[in-house]
Structure 1
Amino acid sequence: MNIHGLLANLESRWAKAAVALASNTDDNSARIDMIDYESAMFITSIEDSVATGVATLKVEQNDLDQDSGMVAITDATATKTCVVTDDINGQLLIVEVRNPSKRYIQGVRTSATANIAFGGIVVLLKPRIFPSVQGATVAASTYVSD
């Protein structure tokens, strides 16, 4: 396997489905066990936005594999405010955490003030051992160097 491509160096996981338009979203991704990983990048899209809506993606951590007790990681937050309806549609919120101090992490999408709709959450993981093996949520993948 060629370790020069991204597929051999990053594991991809689907971590949560899309969220409908709302002004009070508080939605957690699947939790990620970081025991075999150095870094995790959470990515979600903004699918629809209403003026003054605030879209946020943050990452929380915990020593236990449970939502209770999760705490936000300092500075692990990406926020964007919609100024004019639909102006942030199709944009991404991305938060990467390297070497978290707790074993389990999760992404949390929130919306406030006015309606925001989010796409799914994808997590890219940098493993401690290479080459990477794609997660169970990846149906198919291929690498080509032409």
Structure 2
Amino acid sequence: MNFYGNFDIREVNAPVSAGSSIDDNSDIIDMQGYEGVVFMVPITDSAATGVAAMTVEQNSVNSGSGMAALSGAVATATCSTNDDLNDTLLVVDVYRPRERYVQAVLTSATANIAFGNTVAILYGPRVKPVTDHASVQAAALAISPAES
């Protein structure tokens, strides 16, 4: 089994500039036909005492209004010294959400935090192979490749 044909990879949020009170939502993802989703976001800049968090929310309708945070679906990191969180990831995996629509929410507190692009990987598709999402510009799959 190869990875690429069994997962739906999407860019779901643009980078977020440094701030100490960020509250930024990703695109809403329709989970119909998938078992779960992993959200990943890099921390690109961090100031001492800054708190970076990514929380996943769900809703029964495709709307930001009414989204509710999922119990246990939060990744949080606190910066001890300037830049110690740089080039690290926040990752949240939600398996079998109870409602159809989900989104990731990036927040920061206390001191400046900046985030890179948020990526979502939907897994456990009921229909295979998975076709590329519109946010994928190009992709390649190499099976037992020779050296070039």
TM-score (norm 1): 0.96
Shift in Å, 1:145: 2.1
Question: Are 2:12 and 1:18 aligned?
Answer: no
**Whole-Å separation in 2 of the counterparts to 1:134 and 1:92:** 24
Which residue does the alignment assign to 1:58? Answer: 55
Count of residue correspondences: 143
Which residue does the alignment assign to 2:137? Answer: 139
Match for residue 96 of structure 1 among 70, 93, 97: 93
Which residue does the alignment assign to 2:112? Answer: 115
**Whole-Å separation in 2 of the counterparts to 1:118 and 1:66:** 23
Deviations 1:110-146 (A, max 9, x none): 0001000000111001122222212111011011122
Letter in 2 for 1:141: A
Q: Which moved more, 1:8-17 or 1:124-133?
A: 124-133
**Whole-Å separation in 2 of the counterparts to 1:134 and 1:95:** 22
- Structure 1 stretches lacking a partner, 5+ long: none
- Structure 2 stretches lacking a partner, 5+ long: none
SS in 1 for 2:117: strand
Which residue does the alignment assign to 1:72? Answer: 69
TM-score (norm 2): 0.94
**Whole-Å separation in 2 of the counterparts to 1:128 and 1:82:** 40
RMSD of equivalent CA atoms: 0.7
Match for residue 87 of structure 1 among 84, 89, 100: 84
**Whole-Å separation in 1 of the counterparts to 2:30 and 2:143:** 31
**Whole-Å separation in 1 of the counterparts to 2:16 and 2:71:** 25
Which residue does the alignment assign to 1:41? Answer: 38
- After TM superposition, where is structure 1 displaced by more than 3 Å over at least 4 residues in a row? none
